[in-house]
Structure 1
């Protein structure tokens, strides 16, 4: 089994969650990405969010919100994505970078529009009353 190690930012406001769609993709993904060699979770989180959304994560505000695993979207069967999720405050104005085509706020009704691992996260957040 192949595991893709990813870090994601959970940004919830008014019962909606921030999501992104990369250029050429047909589903939405929570913002974040793959760890570079030697990076901690928080270093990955801050780098990826700056790269994707041009905002600065406040590292001291980051709180682990869960780790989820599912079949990786668009990969061969048996390839799993392990998504370690954090909430965190940020500074700046959210705007898409070159690799991100769209920023969107989603609700639980949008569950079918996101990747399989994000669907598990949506389920968790909906059960806990955080995602409408």
Structure 2
């Protein structure tokens, strides 16, 4: 089994979650990405969010939300994405940057446009009454 290890930032406002779509992709994803060599989760997530959304995460508020796994979208069967999700406050104005074509606030009615692992995360957050 091939595992893609990723980090994601969970930002919820008004029972909707911030999601991003990269250029050339057909699904929205939770913002984040992969660690670079010797990066901690915190360092990688801060870097990725700054690159993708032009905001800075407040490391003093960083909290693990959970770790979720599912078939990786756009990869061969048996390729699993493991998404380690954190919440954190941020400073700045969210705007698409780098490889991000669009940012959008989504809820559970938007499952047709998100990846499989994000569907699991959305369900988890809805069960906690955090998402509509």
The unaligned stretches of length 5 or more in structure 2 are none
User: Aligned with 1:17: secondary structure?
Assistant: strand
Alpha-carbon shift at residue 98 of structure 1 (Å): 2.6
**Is residue 73 from structure 1 mapped to residue 86 from structure 2 by the alignment?**
no
In structure 2, the partner of 1:63 is 63
TM-score by length of 1: 0.98
The runs of at least 4 aligned residues of structure 1 exceeding 2 Å deviation read none
The unaligned stretches of length 5 or more in structure 1 are none
**What pairs up with 1:39-50 in 2 under 5 angstroms?**
39-50=39-50
**Matches of 2:77 and 2:39, distance apart in 1:** 28
**Is residue 94 from structure 1 mapped to residue 122 from structure 2 by the alignment?**
no
**Is residue 15 from structure 1 mapped to residue 19 from structure 2 by the alignment?**
no
CA RMSD for the aligned pairs?
0.6
**Matches of 1:11 and 1:59, distance apart in 2:** 14
**Is residue 119 from structure 1 mapped to residue 115 from structure 2 by the alignment?**
no
Q: What is the CA deviation profile of residues 38-77 of structure 1, one whole-angstrom value per residue up to 9, with x for unaligned ones?
A: 1111111100000100100111110000000000000011
User: Aligned with 1:39: secondary structure?
Assistant: coil
**Is residue 110 from structure 1 mapped to residue 110 from structure 2 by the alignment?**
yes
